[in-house]
Structures are given as C-alpha cells and as structure tokens.
Structure 1
Amino acid sequence: MPEMHFRVRWPDDSVSDCYSPSLVVKEHLEAGRRYPLAEFVERSATALNIGSERVRQKYGFACSSAMDQLRRIEETAARFDGAADPQVLVESFIP
C-alpha cells in the first residue's frame, strides 16, 4: 500500500510533515492550496479515515499511524481556536 507524506504550513507559519497510509489524501487535499482551518481538519480526517480503512481491508487491522496523525492535526489545529480566519497551506506532497 503506497504511503504518502504531505507538508502543511499552519497559521503561525510553523510547518508539519504529515503521514497518510494511502494516496487517497491527494483526492481530498491539493498542493499549493490554502484551506480554512476547520475545512483542512475535516478533509484530513476524511482522507486519513479512508486510508486507515483501506489498511483494515488489506491487513485486517486499522492503521494506528493514520489515527495518530489525525490526533496530531487536531491538537495543532486547536492551538488556533479563536484566531481570526486561520488558514492552512498544503505546501506539497512527498512520495
């Protein structure tokens, strides 16, 4: 199963490299595009849950790394609660 990493820039200009167990993330996020924070979290959650489910279908267990990544995204996003119009930039996909 091809995994993928994607680099995001948060509203405070910090950068994170994120993990997906599947290329499905490219169906939900676009490199070079800015997303409102809540939309980024929602799209990431959708992609990571689909990727985890694909792992379950193939190997019989969910992808804990995808769920850990989602937790880290949600925790980082929570730092910007109350910020005016927080945006997340998907900088690139890293094969």
Structure 2
Amino acid sequence: MREDDGTTRERIADRLRDEPATPSAIASEFAITAGSAISHVEHVSRSIDGTDETLLVAPPECHDCGFSDFDDPLNLPSRCPSCKSESISEPAFTIE
C-alpha cells in the first residue's frame, strides 16, 4: 500500500503491522495529536476484532518505580499512581 492510499486508520494499521509504535511516534508520522493517535488505535483494535490479527499493547511504565499496572493501557497517564512520578513511558502498540 502506498503512503497516500487508504484512510489514516488503514495506514496506521499497516504501520503497526510493520513495527511497534508509541502514540507520539504515530502522531508525528501522521501529523495528528497523540490523543487522536490513541483514538485511531482503539478503532483499529475494534476493526481487527474477529480476524486472525491481534493488537498487542506494551503498557506505560513508570521510570522511577517500575509500576506498569495502569487501569487503561491505551492511555497516556500523566503521573504514576504509586510514586506520583511524572516520568512515565508511553504505551507501544503492534499488530500481530
């Protein structure tokens, strides 16, 4: 699929089939916000439901205490609920 072909969501899905990506990386590559990137990924997840593909999510993780049990892995947390640190990695998405 060429870069100009398909909807933004189709191009994001193709990108996630190639390699994992964070919301910021998706946002930068597709000229959208990180929040929009997460919304698109959520929709892609629903679109591939019932197929032989699966959306895998590496959850966000606190760089200070290692906490990674966030309620919603498809989110950009601002602080760690355990140690209150703001040093949080973004989730990473891939389709397998």
User: So what's the TM-score if we normalise by structure 2?
Assistant: 0.34
Larger RCO (CA within 8 A; separation ≥ 6): 1
Structure with bigger helix share is 1
What TM-score do the two structures reach when normalised by structure 1? 0.34
Structure (1 or 2) with the greater strand fraction: 1
Greater gyration radius:
2
